[in-house]
Amino acid sequence: VNEALRVKRSELQGLYETVFDLYEDDAPGVAYQDLLSPINRLRRDIQDIQSEWRNESLLQGDDDYALWQQPEASLEQLIIDYGSDDYVYLIPPEIGDLKVGVSSNLPIPRGAWDEMLTLVLEQNGVGVKTLNPFLRQLVLIRDDLSALEQITADRTTLDLVPPTTRLAFVIRPVATDVQRLYGFLQRFSDNKRSTLHLIGRDIWVVGTAVAVQELLKLYDFAANGHGDKDYRFIALRKIDAEEMSGILNAIFGDGKRKSEGSMRLDSRSSTLNKATSKATKPQATTSRTKELQASGLKVITLTHAAHALFLLGSQQELDKAEEVIKEVEQQMGEAQQRSVYWYTTKHSDAEELAAVVSKVYALMASVKLTESEETGGSSPTVTPDPINRGDLFNRGDSFYADGVTVVNPGTVGPSFVDKTQEPEYRDNFIVDPKTGSIVMVVETILLPDIKELLDRLDVPKKMVQIEVLLFEKRMSGRNRIGLNLLTMGAAATDKNTGSVHWNEGASKTSNTGILEFAISKMEGSWLPAYDLAYNFLISQDDIQINASPTVTTVNQTPAEIAIVEEISVNTGAIEIDTSSSTKLKDSFARQQYGIIIKVTPTIHNCSYAAIDCEEDAYITLETDITFDDVQSSTDNRPNITRRHILNQVRVSDGQTVILGGLRKKTQEDGREAIPFLGDIPGVGKLFSNTELGDRSTEMFIFLTPRIIEDSSQALDRIRTKELSRRPGDSPELVRCQLDAIEAEKRAVFEEGMKMLFGRECDAHDRCYWEYDGASG
């Protein structure tokens, strides 16, 4: 078998050398026809011998063969084991270390080893380059393009050369299909076996003859179905040419490949791009073109000379592109058309409603930045508010007068709202404050949504009535019993007198009580003269303070009510220069104290349009309550007791909540006694003074919010609830059903009682009982 294969291959090699000689002599194509038949015959003979050997090897293996069993081996080891003995192989390290696995249970004759090894190397992207009759070198096909045995454009040559021959085949497609066919072949080519190069308008395919023939089959299929090319000029009216070009490229082209190519081009040759743009600038004086390569459609944008697109492609692609352009421009026209709409507010403030609608419109229409921000202009100058001279002496946390600071809650005065304040900048919404109207300039396509939004926002606002109950009770008691005056010896009056004084405050000292008992005795034989005075004081104060202010406000609108009293406060003495001397005189400041309530309610219930909601409504209250209690004073310097509550609560409609409470109780006990005498049990009370004090304070703040419901909405809700009842759900029928059930229960109970105790006898009926044997 080896000898037969060697003879056949020698004859085939001679024919191949004849073909090469004819190729070098530029022989015509007819000269190759005589060699084609013998070459094909020798190929079939070699294949028959190999097939016959395979069949024989399955039955017996008595010839020189190998199993090619190398599960894990490198290319270097594979060449050492199965390479041709007639050549010396030059193996680079990067190729020799490549791993390959060959597994077979079929013996391969030695005559076919060379071809088998060549095919294995080719499938792994490795080619064999013959340097001389004794030396071969392994090279990577994708990196080394110099080992070419032929360069041809004739397909007949591919049948006349060995299948493993490396050659370059030149394809010359139609000029309009070069890019399309090149991209198509690139997708289906095997980079390990063949490479493609675009040189001018020619496509060069470098690889083995078998790989080239496979690519040519794909080329024939793609080239025959491309259709006729045509061009069309389309003018644009409403959309930018660059934007339309991007849309067409996204529809017809390969955006990913284009983006990768553009990124690679930008990263490698940014300087070259600048130079190219400068070089082509004189040619684009009338129009600037941008070419976008799609799968079969070319788009050239003309932005300067004419706002249009130049399309090049098949008739079907041009029709589809024109249809897309018309549809996009039609939708752009609908989106850009604007209308003027006049709306008069019914239940809302025009400025607040315009502010809310403008924010929603900005999100719907994706409004761009204002012109000043886009152009990088300077921000509008903010003019500082003029200084109010009165605020320098009337501050919120303190009052400054004549060098003395008086802590106070701040003056409560009327609040004036500046109606001329400029609203926030709005392009599309203009408010007429005199008529309460809003003039809107919006896109026609968004106008129905804006109208629906206005109907939902401009509705009667719910109001809340807030009742506040401030209750404070102060009780104080003081008891003082004991010795108030004791003089003996020469300091006594030396008189025998006795007296009782009742609240003689004008002639007594500050220690005088309600009742004073005094005794004076003259000096006796065993007792010195003395004066003795006792005080008995029982005082009690009961003060109750009740305040119940009420305020009504709109939902989520702050409300404030102030019940204050303005008094004069002595701030101290000041020096006043007179003509003769400097005098001291008291200075006063007017201050306000009392009850200040600030409440902001937020209603949480069903929407205004829902009239069948049966859930309880809740109200969130943000409260700020200040309660001042001014105690009387003779020197115009009163003591102020302040209660302040700042919180946020959530309460059901109509329910009462205690926002804050204070309970305070103070007890004081004091005793004064004469040493030694006051410590005697029993008698010591005559020589001591005992004082007891008890003060208690209780304060509560109650808050009751009530939602003031619109009468028309309440009537609609009741009507809807009644009409939604089934015929058997009326109150009268339900009452009758309940009465019937009670009557049935009563009848059953009476029947049971009759069974147990018997029937009740009437006056005219005679009743008979069974004789029990005991009664007479």
Query: What pLDDT, in 10s, does the model give residues 504-561?
Result: 654 444 444 466 667 777 777 677 777 777 777 777 777 777 788 888 888 888 988 8
Boundary of a domain, candidates 95, 120, 140: 140
Residues 622, 679, single domain; the answer is: yes
Least Cα distance to 117 among 93, 140, 100 occurs for 100
Residues 578, 664, single domain; the answer is: yes
534: how many CB neighbours lie within 10 A of its CB?
19
Local confidence band at 343 (pLDDT 50, 70, 90 cut-offs):
very high
Does a structural domain hold residue 649? yes
Does a structural domain hold residue 708? yes
Residues 635, 712, single domain; the answer is: yes
Residues 560, 624, single domain; the answer is: yes
Does a structural domain hold residue 73? yes
End-to-end CA distance of the chain: 149
Spell out a b/e string for 99-131, using b for 16 or more CB atoms within 10 Å of the CB, else e.
Answer: ebebeeeebbbbbbbbbbbbebbbebbbbbbee
Cα separation values, 444 from 335, 343, 370, 450, Å? 7, 15, 21, 10
Lowest-confidence range among 181-185, 341-345, 541-545, 748-752? Answer: 541-545
If one counts the domains in the chain, the total is 3
Residues 20, 84, single domain; the answer is: no
Does a structural domain hold residue 102? yes
Q: Which range scores top for mean pLDDT: 347-351, 656-660, 677-681? A: 347-351
Boundary of a domain, candidates 714, 729, 744: 729
Strands of the sheet containing 88-90, edge to edge, are 88-90, 135-140, 126-132
In terms of residue numbers, what domain contains 548?
541-605+615-729
Does a structural domain hold residue 560? yes
Residues 54, 69, single domain; the answer is: no
For residues 672 and 670, give the distance between their C-alpha atoms in angstroms, rounded to a whole number.
Answer: 7
The residues facing 658 across adjacent strands are: 702
Residues 52, 81, single domain; the answer is: no
Least Cα distance to 153 among 168, 140, 134 occurs for 168
Q: Give residue 60's pLDDT.
A: 53
pTM: 0.41
β-bridge pairing 135-140 and 88-90 = parallel
Q: Is the pLDDT score of 400 beyond 50?
A: no
Q: Give residue 608's pLDDT.
A: 45
Spell out a b/e string for 499-518, using b for 16 or more CB atoms within 10 Å of the CB, else e.
Answer: eebeeeeeeeeeebbeebeb
Q: Mean pLDDT over residues 220-241, rounded?
A: 74
For residues 447 and 451, give the distance between their C-alpha atoms in angstroms, rounded to a whole number.
Answer: 6
Q: Are 662 and 629 in contact (CB under 8 A)?
A: no
Does a structural domain hold residue 510? no
Sign for the pseudo-dihedral over CA of 647, 650, 656, 657: negative
Q: Mean pLDDT over residues 46-66, rounded?
A: 66
Residues 87, 8, single domain; the answer is: no
Residues 105, 15, single domain; the answer is: no
Residues 49, 133, single domain; the answer is: no
Q: Is the pLDDT score of 569 beyond 80?
A: yes
CA dihedral 436, 442, 446, 451 (to 10 degrees): 10
Does a structural domain hold residue 656? yes
**pLDDT one-digit tens code per residue, 635-650:** 788 888 888 888 888 9
- Per the structure block, which two tokens stand in for 41? 């015959």
DSSP one-letter code for 392: G
Boundary of a domain, candidates 140, 168, 201: 140
**Residue for token pair 């994708």:** 142
Residues 46, 125, single domain; the answer is: no
Does a structural domain hold residue 372? no
Residues 594, 555, single domain; the answer is: yes
Q: Mean pLDDT over residues 155-181, rounded?
A: 82
